[in-house]
Structure 1
Amino acid sequence: MSTDGDAAPPICEHRLSPQAIAYKARRKPSVPIRMPDLTDHAAVANWRAATNAMWGEDDNPAEPHRREVIGGIPCLAAGPSPGTDPPIAVYAHGGGYVLGSAAVAMPITARLAASGLRVVSVDYRQPPEFPFPAALDDVLSVYLALAAGDSPVALAGDSSGGALALSAAVIAAAEGVPPAAVALLSPLLDHVSVPGNRLADDEGRRLIDSYTGNANPADPRLSPLRAALGGLPPVLVQAATDEPLAAQAREFRRRAGAAGVAVTLDLWEGMWHTWQYHALPEADEALAEAAGFLAAAFSPADSR
């Protein structure tokens, strides 16, 4: 795929598998349980637990994940054990910051780990109890602790976790410890909006605002699309052509390409936001692409 920042973003057309067609026909709303008052911490905790349990329907319990504490932050790790010096991908789960968990992200992290990566999924602190910058601080803490070792480290994330992963990458690069690569799945990249594109529906906006708190949504640590992007390593962005955040993915490719960053933008026809979570051939293909992208960045020829 072209990575020229001035070229039109490439669109990969994928004929939907019978499994994906059947799944789309029976899809439920992303959050089928009514959202509570986000200032009621007890109600949010119950809502999060119930929603996360429903989102876990595609988890594969046969895939081993280990509980680890890294940089003082609880994580779920999959793939080779520490001490074997495999390349590492630090993963930030999605869920609008308020929902989701490292356990919910197992369908993604298990398949990435199957490629030989050690995937460390961060159980970052979540709003409303812990607004910005708690989640970003936790992802950064895990990344910096691992980057201090001997293995190369990449950053990855989906949806709101994509914002965390990219923000962490921008900050780490500015501090002289850039990741080997960044992989973003249906990422949220701007908390304000991209011109001509509504950021999210009302419920999505409420979730994002719960994390933003009193901060300026244009703060580049919240909206990495607005950050100084020069100095980033190669970045892969996957998004569905019809999802609202696809406009942000296109704009990121334009801005990052203009800053000299090698960006691969893979837009999928017919899919939906974060389809990579589901037990579908399209998810397997997308995650194989992401794993291959990261593996290429870790190869000796591309070592940093």
Structure 2
Amino acid sequence: MAPNEIDAIRALLSSKPRPVGWAARRERLDEVGSLWAPASDIAFEPADMNGAPGEWSIAPGSDASRVLLFFHGGGYCSGSIVSHRRMVTEAGRAARARTLAVGYRLAPEYPFPAALEDGLKAWRYLRDQGIDADRIAVGGDSAGGGLTVALINHLRGAGEEPPACAWLVSPWTDLTMSGATLETKDAVDPLIHKDYLRELATAYLAGSVDPKDPRVSPLYADLRGFPPVLIQVGAAETLLDDATRFAAAAGAANVSTTLEIWPHMIHAWPIWNAHLQPGRAALINAGGFIARHI
């Protein structure tokens, strides 16, 4: 990595004041996430997943029978197919698989369980297409990582076959916000801070769900029987403890768990893979992990 690459991303993120209001926050995340367009060789196709919007993408040479189902981050309140398009498509290229990005409903307009319901719609859509569970990987970043775990746990609880593996980037796994790095990494994280997370959690839970409920805080879930999981997290982010504690919980439950802590990286750094070598490297690692399991 060139020494100034991550500094350039930090400068991009701090180039404007933090927006106020849900609409402005959503616009800003779409703006910074889509600054670099997906590669010109990616083919796209919209999907209607039983009422939930989605987007198929595939890179040349990929196996269309293998699918990465992806949930974007944004604290359950922002983020979109647009903001994460470059990250999703390059992950699919690395995994040599089709990707299906999910545009799930956002809080506060649609609090829990709307996002999980849309995740289930996407899963049912894939299965109704005749795609076997062991040909599907599920992944997401930040809140999308938490949603990934919530979906898989729901499937296991219902006695359904889970996906082949899970990929979590900077996952938000604890809406009680008890991780020590929320304090110790606050000064170096340019994006995620405790007060901001508290606002997001309040919007998502809408006063009706215990923040320790494993459906919203998968750190507290029973993970026995969970499929193999790859967790990638930056050393310079406040959610570092959310990732490391989840990895420990998964390992203690005899889940095949791979934890990568990337030096100097910030929250969800693979979004900016077009101009960030560690972002590209993380996606290559994720692609290899997914390809081995599906």
TM range, normalised to the smaller chain? 0.7 to 0.9
The alpha carbon displacement at 1:216 in A equals 1.1
Query: Is the 1:197–1:244 contact (alpha carbons within 8 Å) kept by the matching residues of 2?
Result: yes
The size of the alignment, in residue pairs, is: 274
Which stretches in structure 2 are left out of the alignment for 5+ residues? 184-192
The answer to whether the aligner puts 1:219 opposite 2:213 as a matched pair is: yes
The alpha carbon displacement at 1:114 in A equals 1.5
The partner residue of 2:174 within 187, 190, 194 is 190
Aligned match of 1:89: 68
Query: Is the 1:76–1:103 contact (alpha carbons within 8 Å) kept by the matching residues of 2?
Result: no
Mean alpha-carbon deviation: is it higher for 59-68 or for 175-184? Answer: 59-68
Letter in 2 for 1:207: L
Query: Is the 1:147–1:177 contact (alpha carbons within 8 Å) kept by the matching residues of 2?
Result: no
Aligned match of 1:9: none
Query: Is the 2:64–2:97 contact (alpha carbons within 8 Å) kept by the matching residues of 1?
Result: no
User: Using the alignment, how far apart are the partners of 2:16 and 2:292 within structure 1?
Assistant: 36
Query: Is the 1:80–1:86 contact (alpha carbons within 8 Å) kept by the matching residues of 2?
Result: no
Query: Is the 1:58–1:277 contact (alpha carbons within 8 Å) kept by the matching residues of 2?
Result: no
Query: Is the 2:179–2:239 contact (alpha carbons within 8 Å) kept by the matching residues of 1?
Result: no
Partner-residue secondary structure (3-state), 2:35: helix
Query: Is the 1:90–1:156 contact (alpha carbons within 8 Å) kept by the matching residues of 2?
Result: yes
Aligned match of 1:181: 165
How is 1:125-140 mapped onto 2 (pairs within 5 angstroms)? 125-140=105-120
User: What TM-score do the two structures reach when normalised by structure 1?
Assistant: 0.83
The partner residue of 2:124 within 138, 144, 161 is 144
The partner residue of 1:161 within 144, 154, 159 is 144
How is 1:260-275 mapped onto 2 (pairs within 5 angstroms)? 260-275=254-269
User: Using the alignment, how far apart are the partners of 1:273 and 1:146 within structure 2?
Assistant: 29
The partner residue of 2:101 within 121, 126, 146 is 121
Which stretches in structure 1 are left out of the alignment for 5+ residues? 1-15, 37-43, 299-304
The answer to whether the aligner puts 1:72 opposite 2:51 as a matched pair is: yes
Query: RMSD value over aligned CA atoms?
Result: 2.2
The answer to whether the aligner puts 1:204 opposite 2:197 as a matched pair is: yes
Aligned match of 2:190: none
Query: Is the 2:67–2:98 contact (alpha carbons within 8 Å) kept by the matching residues of 1?
Result: yes
The alpha carbon displacement at 1:163 in A equals 0.5
Q: Using a 3 Å threshold, how does the CA distance of structure 1 residues 29 and 97 change in structure 2: closer, same or farther?
A: farther
Q: Using a 3 Å threshold, how does the CA distance of structure 1 residues 21 and 165 change in structure 2: closer, same or farther?
A: closer
The alpha carbon displacement at 1:172 in A equals 1.3
User: What TM-score do the two structures reach when normalised by structure 2?
Assistant: 0.86
Letter in 1 for 2:168: L
User: Using the alignment, how far apart are the partners of 2:239 and 2:15 within structure 1?
Assistant: 15
The answer to whether the aligner puts 1:286 opposite 2:286 as a matched pair is: no
Query: Is the 2:72–2:141 contact (alpha carbons within 8 Å) kept by the matching residues of 1?
Result: yes
User: Using the alignment, how far apart are the partners of 1:282 and 1:50 within structure 2?
Assistant: 23
User: Using the alignment, how far apart are the partners of 2:15 and 2:167 within structure 1?
Assistant: 23
Q: Using a 3 Å threshold, how does the CA distance of structure 1 residues 192 and 264 change in structure 2: closer, same or farther?
A: same
Letter in 1 for 2:47: E
Aligned match of 2:186: none
Letter in 2 for 1:137: E
User: Using the alignment, how far apart are the partners of 1:56 and 1:122 within structure 2?
Assistant: 16
Mean alpha-carbon deviation: is it higher for 61-70 or for 238-247? Answer: 61-70
Letter in 2 for 1:198: L
Aligned match of 1:20: 5
Partner-residue secondary structure (3-state), 1:182: strand
Q: Share of identical aligned residues, percent?
A: 32
Query: Is the 2:69–2:100 contact (alpha carbons within 8 Å) kept by the matching residues of 1?
Result: yes
Q: Using a 3 Å threshold, how does the CA distance of structure 1 residues 134 and 247 change in structure 2: closer, same or farther?
A: same
Q: Using a 3 Å threshold, how does the CA distance of structure 1 residues 32 and 290 change in structure 2: closer, same or farther?
A: farther
Partner-residue secondary structure (3-state), 2:258: strand
The answer to whether the aligner puts 1:239 opposite 2:233 as a matched pair is: yes
Partner-residue secondary structure (3-state), 2:65: coil
1:38-77 alpha-carbon deviations (Å, 9 max, x no partner): xxxxxx3354235423432122262332211123311011
The partner residue of 2:293 within 280, 286, 297 is 297
Q: Using a 3 Å threshold, how does the CA distance of structure 1 residues 128 and 21 change in structure 2: closer, same or farther?
A: closer
User: Using the alignment, how far apart are the partners of 2:59 and 2:278 within structure 1?
Assistant: 25
